[in-house]
Structure 1
């Protein structure tokens, strides 16, 4: 069983990743860090608390993350993708104002120290909170066993700009810092997450087997998500589960991904290329070694992905 701390900006795909983590017997979710991204930090925090209440898992600590990128600029949110509250048509009955003015990174550091060398971090939102944690206490963060990022687009176009994926574009300074400085790093980029699709048929099957309040919101929020993606990409077969794909990478599921190792940089000074993820995949380039070497997922087995998601989201844990 893996001890995981999830860093999220709790919109729709984050919520599916969180639901999967709560239902997977191989995951010991020991904490969630909620920061700005798809929505503001207070809503993201509120959404985590709401989902944990639905799952009857309020024992899991929630940590308030960053409110804006390291540049200090005001973040841009995406209600057309995730809904005003971040959960599509769902309006959690908890006021977001309850979570204003919270800072508790010390709780994060205690979690890591109390589980020394056993913690896996999975970051599925902006990289800001993770970078701040490394800035504040590099000694403690050295005790993290491994880190997984959902971010970047290497041989695919971006989704925030022509070249940049949204998480890296949202704070390219933090993304570059993490990619250049965090050891034992794996990146799960758009190159694979675009193909991590759940079709309406699969979603309906999950819904027919739902037996808890947490599972009952899967279909309405993914139906909302699918409507957006149909507008953006007519003919798409389902909704890409970007964040779930990154979480699943941390579980070493046999046959799910193929990887290459490269040094990764993220552009943060470009006039047109902010957030672009850069690695050398030219002919003749080979796997790297050393502290700046990052493992990058570049191929996904869709059958393995779907069958595993079905198995976990339809179990009765």
Structure 2
């Protein structure tokens, strides 16, 4: 008789985000997945101003009854230039979802300092952390510049950002997260991390539809499942010419889904460049798929997504989180 295999240890992660409708879904999925251990949520100016992002992160944690996870505010603008904000999340950042004001307060420790602290502990224990970025990469870029000695404690970076074989969603060429701080993205792409990118090429394959939203019906009022259903019903771009039908793309949830179920995704290796100068193409990500630049690949870029599998797993985990609460 063979001994039963011991369950694998959950993957320790930091979620750096700018909640955000789709950030909320990514966080809820992570909290509902036993494979992931969320060590901290760090916030950055992005979809909405930093103060609103931070407040939304606290609201989401209270919705999930996970106030044990600390929230650390980070950078309130890009490394260079003025902040820009999202267009599809509403003034409060969570679309048509209204949650109570949080009881908990954010930590006074800056996001970059918290990241460094967690990485230092991991390095001291001969362990590693996975970093997830769901918004502009300002916090991570500062971490790289201030604490290059701690990068060896990052197991993997998985981020939502960029656009390659399809057009940008904020300008003709650029995706919002990169456009909001291209200089930060350029620092991150040059850091030599094990990097997985989820660009618009991937997220536009995971579109909401009435059939997919139906997976999230039946949640009791005040549960993550009911909240997710409300978020998704309001997440319609109403642009079938661009997306091939009604619905909205699942951007940020694909990051945490990738960590749990990489088999739902197909990647291609490429070297990524970021345009930081051109007025027309500012913030554009350019992928060298065929080695024409002579540079080694610095990323695995997701190009195909099993959308039905994504929505099925997302609903399963958020339903489980709701029942656990």
After TM superposition, is the score higher than 0.5?
yes
Q: Does 1:230 align with 2:238?
A: yes
Q: Per-residue deviation at 1:15?
A: 0.4
Q: Which residue of 2 aligns with 1:301?
A: 306
Q: Does 1:83 align with 2:67?
A: no
Choose which of 30, 50, 53 in structure 2 pairs with 1:21: 30
Q: Per-residue deviation at 1:300?
A: 1.3
Pairwise mapping of residues 1-317 of structure 1 onto structure 2 (< 5 A)?
Answer: 1-71=10-80, 73-78=81-86, 80-94=87-101, 103-116=110-123, 117-209=127-219, 213-226=223-236, 229-230=237-238, 233=242, 236-254=245-263, 256-281=264-289, 285=291, 293-315=298-320, 316-317=323-324
Mind listing any 5+ residue stretches in structure 1 that lack a counterpart?
Answer: none
Q: Label 1:301 to 1:235 Cα distance change in 2 as closer, same or farther (>3 A).
A: closer
Whether contact under 8 Å (1:188, 1:296) holds in the other structure is yes
2-side partners of 1:85 and 1:102: how far apart? 24
Whether contact under 8 Å (2:272, 2:299) holds in the other structure is yes
Whether contact under 8 Å (1:7, 1:122) holds in the other structure is yes
Whether contact under 8 Å (1:210, 1:314) holds in the other structure is no
Q: Per-residue deviation at 1:238?
A: 2.6
Q: Deviations over 1:40-92 (max 9, x none)?
A: 00100000111111111111111111100110x221223x4101110112344
Question: Over the residues paired in the alignment, what is the CA RMSD in angstroms?
Answer: 2.6
Q: Per-residue deviation at 1:225?
A: 1.8
Q: How many pairs were matched up?
A: 308
Mind listing any 5+ residue stretches in structure 2 that lack a counterpart?
Answer: 1-9
Q: TM-score, normalised by structure 2?
A: 0.86
SS of the residue 1:152 aligns to: coil
Q: TM-score, normalised by structure 1?
A: 0.89
1-side partners of 2:106 and 2:67: how far apart? 15
Q: Per-residue deviation at 1:200?
A: 2.8
1-side partners of 2:243 and 2:95: how far apart? 20
SS of the residue 1:263 aligns to: strand
